[in-house]
Structure 1
């Protein structure tokens, strides 16, 4: 019997989609925050983050409390940044201008807490428990 190209192609598509679905289902929940850029701004320093919600549901609101340290390791200030809503499985670019802050004076950004984590996820501590931080800068960023 001659080979059936349509049947073989369909079988391959079904196999690949099954493998992809298993990989997606087994991926651990995460809230990924990447410190992407620091840029001098008129009033201070513009801080840019990429946030990716892989927690399994829509976040209606998320707020991150950051401790900012200078190059000598001394605390400069603590700020809370409102990331607002974060759609499920979507990456969002967020920029915040921090008045009176010199970008080149920063030595470390510490995620002190996730003060708000509201939406279609459970438990509400999942935002902090599943937090993954990274940076593209020569600056310490994490928990």
Structure 2
């Protein structure tokens, strides 16, 4: 019985050392944008995104300026992605068809900035700060 208690105490001590302050730390709110899929549709490239507003208040409208780079690193196109309304703490999927662009020619997507961010209960820079960008495709996403 003493040995079992010792192992439990040792495990707890090791967990506490390996993860200091986990319970006390809270992550700042962020907006997460994931490039989830690229699909060729009728001569365009349809880009699917999963976006989540990590703030405690809704965002009425979020529009981002995006730059698409080709496989040679050149700017292929600049566009605006209107993600629309983003309810607090709920993921949304948005799709955009980018005409004149094949999916295989896109190598990188740069979120160049926030064009519009309408959120009455949030600071003006809420859509731009703490932006978390990821990709489930071969296309790199940066911001």
Q: Work out whether 1:129 is the aligned partner of 2:129.
A: yes
Q: Work out whether 1:75 is the aligned partner of 2:71.
A: no
Whether the 8 Å CA contact 1:71–1:105 is kept in 2: the answer is yes
CA distance in 2, matches of 1:94, 1:65: 15
Whether the 8 Å CA contact 2:67–2:112 is kept in 1: the answer is yes
Query: Which consecutive unaligned segments of at least 5 residues does structure 1 have?
Result: 1-22
Whether the 8 Å CA contact 1:64–1:114 is kept in 2: the answer is yes
RMSD across aligned positions (CA): 1.9
Corresponding position of 2:57: 57
In terms of fraction of residues, the more helix-rich structure is 1
Q: CA deviation at 1:95?
A: 0.5
CA distance in 2, matches of 1:65, 1:92: 18
Structure 1 segments of 4+ aligned residues over 3 angstroms from their partners: none
Secondary structure of 1:78's counterpart equals strand
Q: Work out whether 1:106 is the aligned partner of 2:109.
A: no
CA distance in 2, matches of 1:56, 1:120: 12
CA distance in 2, matches of 1:121, 1:137: 34
Corresponding position of 2:15: none
State the TM-score, normalizing by the size of structure 2.
0.80
State the TM-score, normalizing by the size of structure 1.
0.80
CA distance in 1, matches of 2:139, 2:83: 21
Whether the 8 Å CA contact 2:43–2:102 is kept in 1: the answer is no
Q: Work out whether 1:94 is the aligned partner of 2:73.
A: no
Q: CA deviation at 1:120?
A: 3.5
Q: CA deviation at 1:130?
A: 1.5
CA distance in 2, matches of 1:135, 1:121: 29
